[in-house]
Structure 1
Amino acid sequence: MDVGITVGDDLDRLAASSGQFDFCELGVGEPTLVPGEIDRERLSDALAGRDLCVHLPYSQRLASYAPEINDAIVAYQRRLLEAAGDLGASKAVLHATSADRDDVAFREVAANQLRRVADAGRDAGVEVVVENVGHQHEGLQLSVLAEIAEETDTPICFDVGHAYMEGGNKAVQRFLRRHGDRISHLHCHDVRRRGDTHLPIGAGEVDYEIVETHLPEFDGTVALEVFTDDETLLLDSAERVAERLGTGF
């Protein structure tokens, strides 16, 4: 199991992050960090030997009602994935969003879009992992995400905090119990129901014993998505997660 850190779209933050992490997850896409325009030498220096994962654009929907727009979405993600693969990225996180998450008939469109983007990743040598964002207005619910990930044979980026915001610790437990074998990548942070998110592990209400119970020998990648640059807090969170998942950090 590798433990990494998310750094947004900031190469300076990437360079300043602790070298103890195995990889960094870098946000890419217009308008701030376009993969094809990234200075390779600067990126290599910032990574300092660590591996690279990327997060595809946060605000880009996966599926719309217009076929022409859906084609454009796939073309855009393909361009980013090809560039990310060229930079050596191993995984790319994709938000599971839709123009209408409550339209049951539309779910097949979302599934087809996911299949197309995942295939584009495979062509580029990058594993696309689809992330749960069901706590957001456009995010597909956990049950729907599991369904289309299974249908399209797409690995999952399970965001523990997002799942908690969607349905509490019960939702975290239910998803891990039923679909833990499909999870390739974890986003770990702590949250509180009142709306505080991306806190250091232990500062919120997520029961990480649930993660320990259902992923006792997790061999994927774990990205800390804690919104702080305080190295002490980040390393402490990494140690807490690694301990729960049965490995050292």
Structure 2
Amino acid sequence: MQFGLTVGDSINRIEQTADPFDFVEFGLTELSPNCNEQRLSHVLTQCDADLCVHLPFKQVLSTPVPEINEAIIAHQSRLLSWAGELGAKKAVLHGAVRDPYDTDQRSTFASQLEAVVEAGQNAGVEVVVENVGHQRNGMQLSVLGDLAEQVDASVCFDVGHAYMEEGNDGIDRFLKYHGDLISHLHVHDARRRGDTHIPIGAGEIDYSIVTDRLSDFDGTVAVEVFTDDLPLLVDSADRAASALGSDRNLSLP
């Protein structure tokens, strides 16, 4: 099991916070790659950190328009090729659709997801689709699990997003029925009043559910807490490790 950190598109944040972690999850914008590749590679080497990426989060995966869908696949394929050339292990893809309540579009979403997963395989990058059902364009949690299973896609399960959508019961249901699809975790805490991406232990998520349902998990775990306070980030990683049955403790540099 590897523990990492989401860093947005900031190489400076990698320099400041990545040392205790096994990998970073670097965010790509819609105009990416627009970073200094040489500097990014140098900083990753300095921190001895592997690379994962987060594909552009503003872009939906499918629409009712075939020409737009083709362009989405071409765009994501280009970014995955770039990520593969830099040695990225995984790429997180938001499970977003133009209208998540249009049931006629679910088959299109599945086809689009399958195509992006295949593009990732061609680039040597594992694509993991993330649950964002609490957002306006996010595919509903249970539907996302069914469609990912249909096309044999791995899942990035965001514990906090699931809580914001369906509470602790929703976390439990997804892990019960689709836990075997999860290759990558986003961990943080949240409160139903709207606070999210806060340190684990500061919110209302029952992480004992994760303990019960993911006792055999051996994938990657990314701390997605919106702070640069390194002790808080490391503490959340240690709490996540404990919830997952790992005795690993990250040490501060």
CA distance in 1, matches of 2:216, 2:146: 24
Asked if the contact 1:146/1:179 (under 8 Å) is kept, the reply is yes
1:158-197 equivalence runs, <5 A: 158-197=157-196
2:130 corresponding residue in structure 1:
131
1:89 corresponding residue in structure 2:
88
Q: Secondary structure at the match of 1:198?
A: strand
1:74-223 equivalence runs, <5 A: 74-223=73-222
The CA deviation at 1:100 is 1.2
Letter of the 2:18 partner, please give it. Answer: S
2:17 corresponding residue in structure 1:
17
CA distance in 2, matches of 1:98, 1:58: 12
**Equivalent residue pairs, number:** 246
Asked if the contact 2:7/2:25 (under 8 Å) is kept, the reply is yes
The CA deviation at 1:53 is 0.2
Asked if the contact 1:15/1:45 (under 8 Å) is kept, the reply is no
Show CA shifts across 1:20-62 (max 9, x none): 100000001334xx23x53333112221221000000010000
Letter of the 2:2 partner, please give it. Answer: D
Identity of aligned residues (%): 58
TM-score in terms of structure 2 length: 0.95
Gaps of at least 5 residues in structure 1 are: none
Deviating runs (4+, > 4 A) in structure 1?
A: none
Letter of the 1:26 partner, please give it. Answer: F
CA distance in 2, matches of 1:17, 1:38: 18
The CA deviation at 1:217 is 2.3
1:232 corresponding residue in structure 2:
231
Letter of the 1:40 partner, please give it. Answer: E
1:29 corresponding residue in structure 2:
29
Q: Secondary structure at the match of 1:7?
A: strand
Asked if the contact 2:41/2:86 (under 8 Å) is kept, the reply is no
Q: Secondary structure at the match of 2:8?
A: coil
Q: Of residues 39, 44, 50 in structure 2, which corresponds to 1:42?
A: 39
The CA deviation at 1:144 is 0.9
Asked if the contact 1:165/1:193 (under 8 Å) is kept, the reply is yes
The CA deviation at 1:99 is 1.0
Asked if the contact 1:29/1:80 (under 8 Å) is kept, the reply is no
